[in-house]
């Protein structure tokens, strides 16, 4: 234990649990790097284990398959994206604009990042992860927009759950060629209409100027999360 930080995670964990947590985090981090550089299909468990500096067999103590590891990577990417959205929209005064920006950022990442694209066919799993990992941020923004009179939303949790499934379905349709990439704007407008605002208001929100997202890995913790 570290007496200077008695409430830290390291202090609360035993040695074995601490090593297991660090190994798992190292594997997820290494997998994210390998999959980003060469694609999910080309990444191997051996290469990931070597980059994480663990034994080749150790990876299977934590993840039964490469897809399961890729899913863990994606969940971390979702949370990191939520933090990046928070940072990019820190100067926004309108919570409805923050929500609109966030919905677009999710869809654009889902159709451009190989680590998202690889798992989109597992739509139920991806939608559930999206609801859980980004839900605290999206639901917060929906509630703030409702409090400000911008969205007539009465059940933010249900709305985000429906939106998560729609986002995954739209991303799958685009990445498989069933819909053109140009449909993104129309999808965003439709998703914003789900908040209860009219089409004109949704179109106006979707067309607002958008700041660039901070680079992955550079986002700070969310200060607005309640």
What digits encode the pLDDT tens for the residues 25-65? 999 898 888 888 888 888 899 999 999 898 888 889 999 88
Quickly state the pLDDT bin for 18 (edges 50, 70, 90): confident
CA gap 19, 25 in Å, rounded:
10
On whether the CB atoms of residues 222 and 82 are closer than 8 A, the answer is yes
Mean pLDDT across the chain: 88
Instruction: Fill in the DSSP letter of residue 6.
Output: T
CA gap 168, 176 in Å, rounded:
12
Predicted pLDDT of residue 13: 61
Predicted pLDDT of residue 222: 47
Quickly state the pLDDT bin for 134 (edges 50, 70, 90): very high
What digits encode the pLDDT tens for the residues 155-186? 999 999 999 999 999 999 999 999 999 999 99
DSSP SS3 for 194 = coil
Quickly state the pLDDT bin for 12 (edges 50, 70, 90): low
How many residues make up the chain in this entry?
226
Mean pLDDT of 112-136: 89
CA gap 146, 111 in Å, rounded:
29
On whether the CB atoms of residues 141 and 226 are closer than 8 A, the answer is no
Residue 219 has pLDDT above 60, yes or no: no
Higher pLDDT, 52 or 194: 194
Residue 10 has pLDDT above 80, yes or no: no
Higher pLDDT, 198 or 225: 198
Predicted pLDDT of residue 19: 83
Predicted pLDDT of residue 117: 84
């Amino acid at each position: 234990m570290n007496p200077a930080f008695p409430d830290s995670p390291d202090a609360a964990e035993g040695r074995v649990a601490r090593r297991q947590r660090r190994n798992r985090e190292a594997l997820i981090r290494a997998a994210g790097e390998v999959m980003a550089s060469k694609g999910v299909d080309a990444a191997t468990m051996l290469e990931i284990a070597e980059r994480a500096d663990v034994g080749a067999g150790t990876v299977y103590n934590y993840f039964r398959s490469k897809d399961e590891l890729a899913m863990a990577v994606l969940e971390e990417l979702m949370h990191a994206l939520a933090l990046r959205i928070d940072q990019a929209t820190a100067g926004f005064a309108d919570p409805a604009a923050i929500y609109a920006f966030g919905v677009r950022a999710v869809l654009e990442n889902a159709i451009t990042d190989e680590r998202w694209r690889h798992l989109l066919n597992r739509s139920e799993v991806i939608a559930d992860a999206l609801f859980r990992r980004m839900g605290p941020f999206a639901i917060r923004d929906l509630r703030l927009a409702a409090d400000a009179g911008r969205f007539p939303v009465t059940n933010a949790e249900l709305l985000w759950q429906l939106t998560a499934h729609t986002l995954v379905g739209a991303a799958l349709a685009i990445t498989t060629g069933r819909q053109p990439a140009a449909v993104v704007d129309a999808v965003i407008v439709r998703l914003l209409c789900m908040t209860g605002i009219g089409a004109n208001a949704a179109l106006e929100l979707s067309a607002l100027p958008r700041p660039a997202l901070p680079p992955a890995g550079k986002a700070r913790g969310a200060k607005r999360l309640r």
